[in-house]
Chain A
Amino acid sequence: MIPAVAHPAPGTVLAPLAVAVPLAAAAVLAGANQRIPALWRDLLGSAAAATATVLAGVVLSQAAHRRVVYWFGGWRPVHGTVIGVDYAVDPMGGALAVLAGVLALAALVYSRRFFGETGGRYPALVLVFTAASIDFAWTGDLFNMFVAFELVAVTGFILTGFYAEEEAPLQGAINFAVLNTVGGLVVLTGVALLYGHTGTLNLAQMGQTLAGHRPGGLVVVAFALLASGFLVKAGSVPWHFWLPDAYGTAPAPASILIAGVTSELGLFGLARTWETVFSGAVAGSAEQRIRLVLGALGVLTALVGTAMALAEDHPRRLLAFVVIAHLGVYLLGFSLLRTAALGGVALLAAGDGFVKGALFLAVGIIRRHRRATGARALRGEGPAITIAAGVIVLGVLCLSDLPPFSSSVGKDLLVATAGSAGPLVEAVIAVTVVGSGAAILASAVQVWQGHAVDNPSPSEDAAETAAGWGNVTLLAPPVVLLAAALGLGLVPHLADHAASAAASFADRPGYHAAVYGAARRAVARPGTGGGGVEPLVIDGAEAAASVLAAAALVSRRRIAPVLGRGTGWLRDLHRGHLGDQLTWAVLGMAAMAAASGLALR
Chain B
Amino acid sequence: MTVLAFAVVVWLFVVGLYGMVTSRNLIHLVVCLSVAQSATDLLLLEIGYVGHGHAPVFVDLPKHPGPTVDSIMQALSLTDVVLGAAVSALLLALSVQVHKRTGTLDPDELRTVEPNRS
Among A164-172, A282-290, A492-500, the stretch in contact with B: A164-172
Residue among A173, A577, A579 facing the most chain B CB atoms (10 A cut-off) = A579
In the complex, which of the residues B33, B101, B113 contacts A576, with contact meaning CB atoms closer than 8 Å?
Answer: B113
Is the Cβ of A174 less than 8 Å from the Cβ of B26? yes
Q: What's the minimum C-beta distance from A296 to chain B, rounded to whole angstroms?
A: 25
Residue B69 lies at the interface, judged by CB distance under 8 Å to chain A: no
Is the Cβ of B111 less than 8 Å from the Cβ of A576? yes
List which A211-259 residues lie within 8 A (CB) of chain B.
245, 248-249
Chain B residues closer than 8 Å to A393, beta-carbon distance: none
Residue B8 lies at the interface, judged by CB distance under 8 Å to chain A: no
- Complex: A575 Cα to B114 Cα, angstroms: 7
Sample of 9 A–B contacts (CB below 8 Å): A161-B97, A169-B102, A174-B91, A177-B90, A177-B91, A196-B47, A576-B110, A577-B107, A579-B22
Is the Cβ of A576 less than 8 Å from the Cβ of B114? yes
**Which 5 residue pairs across A and B have the least CB separation, nearest first?**
A171-B110, A196-B47, A248-B113, A169-B110, A169-B102
Residue A27 lies at the interface, judged by CB distance under 8 Å to chain B: no
Q: What's the minimum C-beta distance from B4 to chain A, rounded to whole angstroms?
A: 17
Chain A interfacial residues counted at CB < 8 A = 46
CB within 8 Å for A143 and B40 given contacts A169-B98, A453-B115, A579-B21: no
Chain A residues closer than 8 Å to B20, beta-carbon distance: 178, 182, 578-579, 582
Interface of B is mostly: helix
In the complex, which of the residues B26, B40, B112 contacts A192, with contact meaning CB atoms closer than 8 Å?
Answer: B40
Is the Cβ of A201 less than 8 Å from the Cβ of B72? yes
Is the Cβ of B36 less than 8 Å from the Cβ of A185? yes
In the complex, which of the residues A168, A170, A173, A586 contacts B17, with contact meaning CB atoms closer than 8 Å?
Answer: A586
List which B76-97 residues lie within 8 A (CB) of chain A.
76, 79-80, 83, 86-87, 90-91, 94-95, 97
Is the Cβ of A170 less than 8 Å from the Cβ of B108? no
Contact with B along A571-584 (1 / 0, CB 8 A): 00001111100110
Residue A292 lies at the interface, judged by CB distance under 8 Å to chain B: no
List which A152-200 residues lie within 8 A (CB) of chain B.
154, 157-158, 161-162, 167-174, 177-178, 181-182, 184-185, 188-189, 191-193, 195-196
Residue A314 lies at the interface, judged by CB distance under 8 Å to chain B: yes
Of chain B, the residue at the smallest CB distance from A244 is B113
In the complex, which of the residues A181, A193, A454, A579 contacts B23, with contact meaning CB atoms closer than 8 Å?
Answer: A579
In the complex, which of the residues B44, B47, B83, B116 contacts A150, with contact meaning CB atoms closer than 8 Å?
Answer: B83
Chain B residues closer than 8 Å to A313, beta-carbon distance: 115, 117
In the complex, which of the residues A174, A192, A314 contacts B94, with contact meaning CB atoms closer than 8 Å?
Answer: A174
Interface of A is mostly: helix
Q: What's the minimum C-beta distance from A170 to chain B, rounded to whole angstroms?
A: 5
Q: What's the minimum C-beta distance from A429 to chain B, rounded to whole angstroms?
A: 30
Chain A residues closer than 8 Å to B40, beta-carbon distance: 185, 188-189, 192
- Complex: A158 Cα to B39 Cα, angstroms: 25
Chain A residues closer than 8 Å to B117, beta-carbon distance: 313, 453
Chain A residues closer than 8 Å to B91, beta-carbon distance: 174, 177-178
Residue among A181, A184, A577 facing the most chain B CB atoms (10 A cut-off) = A181
Residue A14 lies at the interface, judged by CB distance under 8 Å to chain B: no
- Complex: A168 Cα to B97 Cα, angstroms: 10
Is the Cβ of A173 less than 8 Å from the Cβ of B43? no
Contact with B along A452-494 (1 / 0, CB 8 A): 0110000000000000000000000000000000000000000
Q: What's the minimum C-beta distance from A310 to chain B, rounded to whole angstroms?
A: 15
In the complex, which of the residues A147, A245, A586 contacts B83, with contact meaning CB atoms closer than 8 Å?
Answer: A147
Of chain B, the residue at the smallest CB distance from A179 is B20
Chain B residues closer than 8 Å to A173, beta-carbon distance: 94
Residue among B94, B95, B98 facing the most chain A CB atoms (10 A cut-off) = B94
Excluding A171-B113, A586-B21, 20 further A-B contacts by CB distance (< 8 Å) are A143-B76, A150-B87, A168-B113, A170-B101, A171-B111, A177-B90, A178-B33, A178-B91, A181-B87, A182-B17, A182-B20, A188-B80, A189-B13, A192-B73, A193-B47, A245-B113, A576-B111, A577-B108, A579-B20, A579-B107
